[in-house]
Structure 1
Amino acid sequence: MTGRVLIIAGSDSGGGAGIQADIKTVTALKGYAATAITALTAQNTLGVHGVFGVDPEFIASQIRVVLEDIGADALKTGMLHSAAVIETVAAELGAYTERIPLVLDPVMVAQSGASLLDPEAVGSLKEHLLPLADILTPNVPEAEKLSGLEIRSVEDMQAAAQQLLQQGPNAVLLKGGHMAGNSLSDVLATPEGIEVFSDTRIDTEHTHGTGCTLASAIAAGLAQGMTRSAAVRRARAYLRRALQSPPGHGQGAGGVDHSHTVGAFRED
């Protein structure tokens, strides 16, 4: 087990997204997952039925005690539902992000459409956390909100990723899953240029937690010493395989097969 990842995110009681997906992903990729929980959600495959926020000072305490004792090789944030939470997390992580890469997943809306970020907190996210991020991982709707640009093509994705890069992160991975068509592209923008990852779309309705899963897989790769490009490539391969064999639990859009790698790591 190599690579310590501190995950700062909300809990999904249904197990498909949030902290639960994050822990499964990091563990499946042979990393060590520690957590600071920002909110509890009453959630299943049919939607989000309630959100209970954790006091920001207690979130700060979780972060502080983990980093002071266990430490981390990468940081990952998910659901940070309010400006107060965002500012608290930024204050706690600020002293660490120069030497520990932060994967910032700007969780704004759940797959079901439920809002997971107060609208007035978007400005706080841009001001306080984007400049700390090593990789920002928005989907298309999130990138549109953060950049103010309309995204309708891969070329638009590249322009938006480059615009977001100017807001402070070291890299931007703009995910194309919300785009129409049978081909799916993700765009990785860094100061060195653009890299486009393209694959055919996997035909499944079980896509709950894919954003959390991909971001945590990237964080695990960075924690294990991979380059950004290599971490993104492995994370995409891991998620694609997980999408191909979902467990199918629940009546709605379920989670993916986070454990598909487990057998591959047996040593005879």
Structure 2
Amino acid sequence: MKILSIQSSVAYGHAGNSSAVFPLQRLGHEVWPVYTVHFSNHTGYGQWKGVVFEPSTVADVISGIEERGVLPECDAVLSGYQGAEAIGEVILDAVARVKEANPKAIYCADPVMGDVGRGFFVQPGIPEFMRDRVVPAADIITPNQFELEFLTGSEVHSVADLVAAANTLRDKGPRTILVTSVQTDETPADSVQMAVVSDEGAWLVTTPLLPLYVTGGGDATAAIFLAHVLTDGPAEALAKTADSVFGIVERTHEAGTRELQLVGAQEAIAHPSGRFTVAELT
């Protein structure tokens, strides 16, 4: 499969495309990365150097790809954090171009906006842009629980609430919803969950919650899920994604670092062990 991934990048560590590209490649997919920024490191350090590319520059790169005549070969577009609405418009234009060239292509959007405990960490207007423009254009959406609640105007306290909210989001356009960082009143202690809701059904998987916070985890999760859902059913894609993501976080925890150990955990990416059971939801 060939995937156009439009995201940020960092030289040191893993975030944006620097977190998404390697897992996609390790799973056998060809990636065309387009960078919206190129920083020395992710902004969680408080200090960084680099450049934010003008929307026109990002659009020029995409146009250059289009001029090679390869958009009909593109199977999917992947996007994540969008620093400004102007970049979002460039991404949506790219999605439209790809879909015009290949109507079977899909758009997977990770609606990065915020998280429980942190609230929103994007510019004003971006959450509404995600809700009103990105969601209707997407085929797959990968929000965390906080983002799901915002996008649907609902509160998630139970698995039933989770499925209902995902279906509300599906009514807005996307057919497949992957919800990450799920912790409802029913989630077992010291655990975190991930769920997928699609036309085929709904499934939930539970993994241990390790005591660390990493940047770029959501970017890797969206990429890994997209890689699998392009070739497998949603339930199998969920199982493999949960296994690989836990393997990455586990390796990162063992290393005692704040940067994802993607290379060190590459076998967990390429060959998920099947250690977590996916439960079908009614």
TM norm structure 1: 0.82
- Retained in 2: the 8 A contact 1:130–1:168? yes
State the SS of the aligned residue for 2:81.
Answer: coil
Q: Distance in 2 between matches of 1:185 and 1:32?
A: 29
Q: Distance in 1 between matches of 2:195 and 2:270?
A: 30
AA at the equivalent of 1:28 = R
Residue identity over aligned pairs, in percent, reads 21
1:174-222 deviation line (CA, Å, top 9, x unaligned) = 11345563333222122343x2222231424153322111111122224
Structure 2 counterparts to residues 35-46 of structure 1, below 5 A? 35-41=33-39, 43-44=41-42, 46=44
Match of 2:247 in 1: 241
AA at the equivalent of 2:217 = T
State the SS of the aligned residue for 1:119.
Answer: coil
Q: CA 1:63/1:133 → structure 2, altered by over 3 Å: closer, same or farther? A: same
Q: Distance in 2 between matches of 1:176 and 1:188?
A: 12
Greater Cα shift, 86-95 or 133-142: 86-95
Deviation at 1:10, TM superposition (A): 1.0
Alignment partner of 1:261 is 2:261: no
- Retained in 2: the 8 A contact 1:45–1:254? no
The structure with higher relative contact order (CA 8 Å, sep 6+) is: 1
Q: CA 1:64/1:167 → structure 2, altered by over 3 Å: closer, same or farther? A: same
Deviation at 1:103, TM superposition (A): 1.3
Q: Distance in 2 between matches of 1:112 and 1:17?
A: 20
- Retained in 2: the 8 A contact 1:202–1:244? no
Q: CA 1:96/1:227 → structure 2, altered by over 3 Å: closer, same or farther? A: farther
AA at the equivalent of 2:124 = P
Structure 2 counterparts to residues 77-226 of structure 1, below 5 A? 77-97=79-99, 98-109=103-114, 113=118, 117-177=122-182, 181-193=189-201, 195-205=202-212, 207-223=214-230, 225-226=231-232
In the alignment of these two chains, the number of paired residues is: 260
Alignment partner of 1:25 is 2:23: yes
TM norm structure 2: 0.79
Q: Distance in 1 between matches of 2:262 and 2:243?
A: 13
State the SS of the aligned residue for 2:248.
Answer: helix
Structure 2 counterparts to residues 54-69 of structure 1, below 5 A? 54-69=53-68
AA at the equivalent of 1:8 = I
Q: Distance in 1 between matches of 2:61 and 2:234?
A: 27
Q: Distance in 2 between matches of 1:99 and 1:27?
A: 21
Deviation at 1:232, TM superposition (A): 3.0
Q: CA 1:222/1:100 → structure 2, altered by over 3 Å: closer, same or farther? A: farther
- Retained in 1: the 8 A contact 2:248–2:260? no
Q: Distance in 2 between matches of 1:114 and 1:8?
A: 24
- Retained in 2: the 8 A contact 1:185–1:196? no
Q: Distance in 2 between matches of 1:31 and 1:145?
A: 32
- Retained in 2: the 8 A contact 1:101–1:222? no
Q: Distance in 1 between matches of 2:120 and 2:16?
A: 14
AA at the equivalent of 1:173 = L
State the SS of the aligned residue for 1:156.
Answer: helix
Q: Distance in 1 between matches of 2:46 and 2:177?
A: 28
State the SS of the aligned residue for 2:247.
Answer: helix
Q: Distance in 2 between matches of 1:86 and 1:233?
A: 30
Q: Distance in 1 between matches of 2:167 and 2:52?
A: 33
Q: Distance in 2 between matches of 1:234 and 1:162?
A: 23
1:111-168 deviation line (CA, Å, top 9, x unaligned) = 9959653221222222322122121000011112211212233222222211111111
Deviation at 1:171, TM superposition (A): 1.3
Equivalent residue in structure 2 for 1:228, among 217, 225, 234: 234
Q: CA 1:245/1:264 → structure 2, altered by over 3 Å: closer, same or farther? A: closer
**CA-atom RMSD, angstroms?**
3.0
Q: Distance in 2 between matches of 1:75 and 1:7?
A: 6
